[in-house]
Amino acid sequence: MTKGPGAPAAAHPDRPAAALPPVPAVWNIANMLTMLRLLLVPVFVALLFADGGHDPKWRSVAWASFAIAMITDLFDGEIARRKGLVTDFGKIADPIADKAIMGSALIGLSVLGDLPWWVTAVILARELGITLMRFWVIRYGVIPASRGGKLKTLTQGIAVGMYVLELTGWLATARAVLMGLAVLLTVGTALDYIGQALRLRREGMAAERADR
């Protein structure tokens, strides 16, 4: 019987069906680095406040744990994307780990009197606000990380790391200048993301009205 032009072709008996890409395991190297960063948070806090919080030796060890956490932040996402190891767990855990280590460092330094509270408030308010804003517009699209946002993250990490160390003289001045730059980038990138979010939402709503 001749098949019509619209009839589906029969599967070739010797040809294997197209296999779906394998689902990456939750416990992969990228997620393990993220978990390591989460586990380092209480360790870092304990080291930061050890022996009254101002012992140079303990602060140096605290800096080492903070540096390890920042390094894992640089590599876990890149490894996940390059090796196809992106998981739902990683999408949730990675930003939580980032904010946990940075937030604990900022709050801890302010509690110790080494960093003004207004700096901590500005940075944490920005991080929380932008995260909530991303969820607010997620139905219309995803706001990608900008170069300014990546530079902000790098500047914050270096500046906070320098504040963890007990520095004096020109190094103390340098870290204050770098933290000032980090605050400017924090505010500037926040305004940029807000503009992107409002534009994305406006365009998305317009598209929805056009489809009705």
* Two tokens, residue 186: 């924090």
CB-based contacts of 171: which residues, under 8 Å, 6+ apart? 162
* pLDDT mean across residues, the chain: 82
Model confidence pLDDT, tens digit, residues 66-108: 999 988 877 666 666 675 656 666 667 777 888 899 999 999 9
- pTM confidence score: 0.78
Burial of 82 from C-beta contacts in 10 A (0-12 / 13-18 / 19+): exposed
Model confidence pLDDT, tens digit, residues 119-137: 999 999 998 888 888 778 8
Rounded Cα gap, residues 22 and 144, in angstroms: 26
Hunting for tokens 């948070």 — which residue is that?
A: 41
